[in-house]
């Protein structure tokens, strides 16, 4: 408990790749209330941890930081939380700094800044096994005494040191000792004056100095007198061409180098490690691309082959449930609602859970193993000509899972134009919600027996390549032609390769499964019931197809048909397009309801294959399926994406632009497929 008798809040901060999120997961387990997304941590998330004596405390996991001088939006989030300026989270009672023991000099740079916040600090000396493997000898007690904070050695991925950490968190954490690094004279004079002007209203001298440095850096919070003094000193330094911010960095590093040298801690060795051996292949200008293509192909093959077994089980489960319900209940509206509405709609989407989990499993492995940063490095060469840096790759890769975390991950991109470009193209990366649509249409287009698994995987890969290629072309248009300016240079840490922490990966998959099922149980359930209603009423006869044609949904579809007929789509597909405006995967459940197939995946595909135009011609020809798939490659059929784009860009202007350009592109793309297909005689 804190001084007010309330539960304590502890912020968890550290450099990227210091194992912060792994430690957070180890301490909180499944007691996390705010879902995180794959890729980098871009949003603060909270979880409950317990001390050894059972005292509950709230941990706040913050995005990785190199310093407390925020530049990118994710760094600003961390800064706001640490200063008590974040909505929904109180100012932390203490800070748990997670440092990579194999890279102390740079990690402790951030710790020296955190120590100036005026909060109690505890340091988790993480990855001590990696440091020892590099020949670095650590003395946590010595380090603690020298720096003025307590160090606890941990190996978060193996769960080691957690007991000691919980015990330390249970004790009253001390405020850090006095500043150890020496300020250069001109800066010391400035900080002394500014701090004196503020000290009266602040409890600790350390914090006054920290605040003085923030004011010099341009912070706006503080008494007017101190702000004026800071502005005057800034102007003076500018006139004297004195780079005070560089001087601060130098002074901190200089102190840390001396301190670590005295403690007998070096940088270890870089050559000859297996990270270097793997990098020789993975970063090779030719072999590296082969590795990347192989990984992507393995991902898509897994999505089709491994996922097919659990998908069949889910399908069989929903079919059995539908049959049982039909056996229990008398025929009528309620039975129809449950079987054709609820089970067909929800079952048609839940069946794709295994594929989505495989996607997140792969993304988790790539991130945790350290490969993701290498892929970003490799792709920088491709992204530079279109005006982006390799840093945009991680948000774009996350968008393959879902555009929402992808757009949120753009907070790590420092350049505002780069960030906006990445947001605008992120929804073009085929997300997991498109998988059900692609899978269904691929199966409807080509009989399973005629195409082997790798053929379907290649076709799927083709759709992903189309989306990605278009995204890159549009990035070039937006970045170079619309926004102007050059692409930012790449600065990216390449962490050493590690065996992925399966617990962390499993936790992310669990979170994702919950989000997906919650969505299936709320949005998709509600839409399914609504769709069942509008596709079942008004009832005109006992014949289902006549009923559907005369229903509200049928009327809307018929109204739309002239508009979508050039794309090869009939009025029933029109219902699917309108219904899936809120979420793409709803297309499949809508088709299940439209064709009254009661949640059976294979049943829907059969119904689609036999669906005909009034003249008896097949609707779902391979050309129409391709046209529909191309439509879904481009269309922004996701209200959640629009909402998050509005939040991240600060208004409606860019989400509306995104919606218009993507819908236009979808229509144009699908129409061109029909045009070229017919010209070629299909």
Partner 1 sequence: MEENFLNLTQVGAGTEVRVSRLECPPTTCQRLREMGFCENALVRKIRGGADLVCWVCGTRVALSARLAKQILVEHVDGRS
Does 276 sit near partner 1 (CB under 8 A)? yes
Between 69 and 326, whose beta carbon lies closer to partner 1?
69
Can residue 270 be called a binding residue for partner 1 (CB under 8 A)? Answer: yes
Query: Binding of partner 1 at residue 263 (CB under 8 A)?
Result: no
Q: How far is CA 4 from CA 8, 74, 168, 223, in A?
A: 9, 30, 20, 27
| Neighbouring residues of 488: CB distance < 8 A, sequence distance ≥ 6 | 389, 391, 414, 415, 418
Residue 284 or 653 having the CB closest to partner 1: 284
261 binds partner 1 (CB under 8 A): no
The smaller minimum CB distance to partner 1, of residues 248 and 509, is found at: 248
The gap from C-alpha 34 to its chain's centroid, in whole angstroms, comes to: 13
* Candidate ranges 269-277, 517-525, 537-545, 570-578; the one touching partner 1 (CB under 8 A): 269-277
Q: Is the dihedral of CA 149, 153, 156, 160 positive or negative?
A: negative
Closest CA to 109 of 256, 262, 258: 256
Binding region for partner 1 (CB under 8 A) out of 5-13, 80-88, 378-386, 468-476: 378-386
- Answer for which of 202, 283, 297, 623 binds partner 1 (CB under 8 A) is 283
Q: Does 494 bind partner 1 (CB under 8 A)?
A: yes
* Residue in 279, 368, 511, 600 binding partner 1, rule: CB under 8 A: 279
Using CB under 8 A as the binding rule, whether residue 354 contacts partner 1 is answered as no
Residue 255 within binding range of partner 1, rule CB under 8 A: no
The rounded distance, in Å, linking the Cα atoms of 268 and 287 is 29
Stretch that binds partner 1, among 39-47, 267-275, 503-511, 539-547 (CB under 8 A): 267-275
How open is the CA angle 633-520-528, to the nearest 5 degrees?
85
Q: Which stretch binds partner 1 (CB under 8 A): 456-464, 466-474, 485-493, 624-632?
A: 485-493
Of the residues 19, 153, 427, 495, which one makes contact with partner 1 according to CB under 8 A: 495
Instruction: Return the structure tokens found at 559.
Output: 């109204």
- What spatial distance separates the first Cα and last Cα of the chain, rounded to whole Å? 72
Is residue 109 at the binding interface for partner 1, with CB under 8 A as the rule? yes
* E-strand stretches of 297-432: none
Interatomic CA distance for residues 107 and 97, integer angstroms? 9
Buried b (16+ CB within 10 A) or exposed e, 397-420: bbbbbbbbbbbbbbbbbbbebbbb
CB distance 289 to 379 below 8 Å: no
Can you tell me the distance from the alpha carbon of 432 to that of 641, in angstroms, rounded to the nearest whole number?
A: 13
Give the CA count within 13 Å in the CB-facing half-sphere of 467: 29
Which C-beta is closer to partner 1: that of 312 or that of 414?
Answer: 414
Is residue 292 involved in binding partner 1 (CB under 8 A)?
no
Instruction: Considering the complex, state which of residue 211 and residue 252 has its C-beta at the smaller distance from partner 1.
Output: 252
Q: Is 268 in the site for partner 1 (CB under 8 A)?
A: yes
Pick from 301, 446, 466, 492 the residue near partner 1 by CB under 8 A: 492
Nearest approach in angstroms of CB 484 to partner 1 is 17
Cis peptide before 335 (omega within 30 of 0): no
Please report whether residue 240 would count as binding partner 1 according to CB under 8 A.
no
Among the residue ranges 382-390, 466-474, 600-608, 642-650, the one whose residues contact partner 1 (CB under 8 A): 382-390
Among 104, 429, 573, 636, binds partner 1 (CB under 8 A): 104
Cβ–Cβ under 8 Å, residues 2 and 93: yes
Q: Is 421 in the site for partner 1 (CB under 8 A)?
A: no
The whole-angstrom separation of Cα 561 and Cα 576 is: 12
| 373 in contact with partner 1 (CB under 8 A) | yes
Q: Which two tokens stand for residue 391?
A: 């840093």
Site membership for partner 1, residue 246 (CB under 8 A): yes
83 binds partner 1 (CB under 8 A): no
Under the criterion CB under 8 A, does residue 581 sit at the interface with partner 1?
A: no
CA–chain centroid gap for 459, Å, is 26
Residue 194 exposure: Cα atoms within 13 Å on the Cβ side: 32
Question: Which residue, among 638, 621, 632, 597, has the nearest Cα to 674 in the 3D structure?
Answer: 621
Question: Does 106 engage in binding with partner 1 (CB under 8 A)?
Answer: yes
Size of the residue set binding partner 1 (CB under 8 A)? 40
Does residue 380 belong to the site contacting partner 1 (CB under 8 A)? Answer: yes
The one segment of 4-12, 85-93, 105-113, 555-563 that binds partner 1 by CB under 8 A: 105-113
Binding test (CB under 8 A) with partner 1, winner from 6, 71, 238, 565: 71
Q: Is 667 in the site for partner 1 (CB under 8 A)?
A: no
CB of 650 vs partner 1, minimal distance in Å: 21
Cα–Cα distance measured from residue 47 to residue 436, given in angstroms and rounded to the nearest whole number: 33
Pick one of 48, 51, 69, 258: the residue that binds partner 1 (CB under 8 A). 69
Window 48-67: residues binding partner 1 (CB under 8 A): 66-67
Is-contact 524 583, C-beta < 8 A? yes
What are the C-alpha distances in Å from 582 to residues 320, 433, 440? 29, 11, 19
Q: Point out which residues bind partner 1 (CB under 8 A).
A: 66-67, 69, 71, 102-106, 109, 243, 245-246, 249-250, 253, 267-268, 270, 275-276, 279, 283, 285, 373, 377, 380-381, 384, 389-390, 414, 489-496
């Amino acid at each position: 408990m804190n001084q007010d008798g309330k539960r304590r809040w502890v912020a968890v901060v550290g450099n990227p790749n210091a194992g912060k999120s792994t430690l957070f997961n180890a301490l909180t387990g499944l007691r996390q209330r705010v879902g995180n997304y794959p890729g980098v941590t871009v949003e603060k998330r909270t979880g409950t941890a317990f001390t050894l004596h059972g005292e509950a405390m709230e941990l706040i996991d913050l995005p990785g930081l190199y310093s407390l001088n925020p530049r990118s939006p994710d760094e600003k989030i961390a800064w706001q939380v640490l200063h008590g300026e974040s909505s929904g989270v109180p100012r932390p009672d203490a800070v748990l700094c997670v440092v990579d023991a194999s890279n102390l000099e740079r990690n402790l740079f951030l710790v020296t800044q955190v120590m100036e916040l005026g909060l109690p600090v505890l340091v988790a000396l993480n990855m001590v096994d990696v440091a020892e493997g590099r020949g670095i000898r650590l003395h946590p007690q010595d380090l603690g005494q020298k720096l003025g904070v307590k160090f606890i050695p941990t190996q978060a991925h193996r769960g080691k040191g957690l007991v000691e950490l919980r015990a330390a968190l249970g004790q009253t954490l001390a405020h850090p000792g006095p500043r150890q690094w020496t300020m250069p004279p001109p800066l010391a004079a400035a900080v002394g004056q500014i701090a004196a002007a503020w000290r009266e209203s602040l409890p600790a001298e350390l914090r006054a100095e920290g605040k003085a440095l923030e004011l010099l850096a341009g912070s706006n919070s503080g008494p007017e007198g101190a702000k004026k003094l800071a502005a005057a000193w800034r102007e003076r330094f500018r006139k004297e061409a004195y780079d005070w911010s560089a001087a601060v960095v130098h002074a901190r590093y200089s102190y840390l180098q001396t301190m670590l040298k005295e403690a007998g801690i070096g940088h270890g060795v870089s050559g000859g490690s297996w990270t270097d051996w793997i990098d020789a292949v993975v970063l090779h200008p030719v072999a590296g691309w082969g590795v990347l293509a192989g990984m992507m192909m393995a991902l898509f093959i897994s999505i089709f082959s491994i996922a097919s077994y659990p998908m069949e089980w889910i399908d069989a489960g929903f079919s059995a449930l539908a049959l049982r319900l039909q056996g229990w209940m008398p025929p009528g509206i309620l039975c129809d609602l449950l079987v054709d509405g609820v089970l067909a709609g929800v079952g048609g989407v839940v069946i794709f859970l295994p594929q989505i989990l495989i996607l997140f499993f792969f993304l988790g492995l790539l991130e945790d193993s350290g490969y993701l940063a290498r892929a970003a490095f490799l792709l920088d060469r491709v992204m530079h000509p279109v005006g982006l840096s390799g840093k945009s790759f991680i948000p774009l890769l996350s968008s393959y899972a879902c555009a929402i975390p992808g757009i949120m991950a753009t907070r790590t991109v420092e350049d505002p134009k780069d960030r906006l470009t990445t947001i605008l193209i992120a929804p073009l990366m085929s997300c997991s919600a498109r998988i059900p649509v692609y899978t269904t249409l691929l199966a409807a287009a080509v009989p399973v027996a005629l195409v082997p698994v790798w053929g379907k995987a290649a076709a799927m890969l083709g759709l992903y390549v189309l989306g990605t290629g278009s995204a890159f072309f549009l990035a070039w248009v937006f970045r170079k032609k619309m926004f102007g300016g050059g692409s930012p240079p790449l600065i990216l840490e390449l962490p050493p390769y590690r065996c992925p922490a399966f617990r962390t990966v499993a936790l992310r998959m669990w979170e994702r499964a919950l989000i997906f099922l919650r969505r299936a149980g709320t949005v998709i359930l509600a839409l399914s019931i609504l769709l069942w209603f509008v596709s079942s009423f008004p009832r005109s006869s006992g014949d289902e197809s006549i009923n559907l044609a005369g229903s509200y949904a049928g009327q809307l579809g018929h109204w739309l048909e002239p508009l979508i007929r050039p794309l090869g789509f009939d009025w029933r597909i029109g219902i699917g397009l309108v219904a899936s405006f809120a979420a793409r995967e709803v297309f499949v459940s809508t088709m299940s309801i439209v064709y009254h197939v009661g949640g059976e995946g294979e049943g829907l595909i059969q119904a689609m294959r036999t669906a005909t135009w009034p003249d008896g011609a097949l609707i779902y020809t391979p050309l129409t399926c391709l046209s529909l798939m191309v439509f879904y490659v481009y269309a922004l059929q996701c209200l959640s994406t629009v909402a998050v784009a509005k939040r991240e860009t600060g208004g409606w202007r860019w989400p509306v632009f995104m919606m218009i350009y993507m819908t236009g592109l979808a229509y144009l793309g699908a129409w061109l497929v029909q045009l070229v297909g017919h010209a070629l005689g299909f």
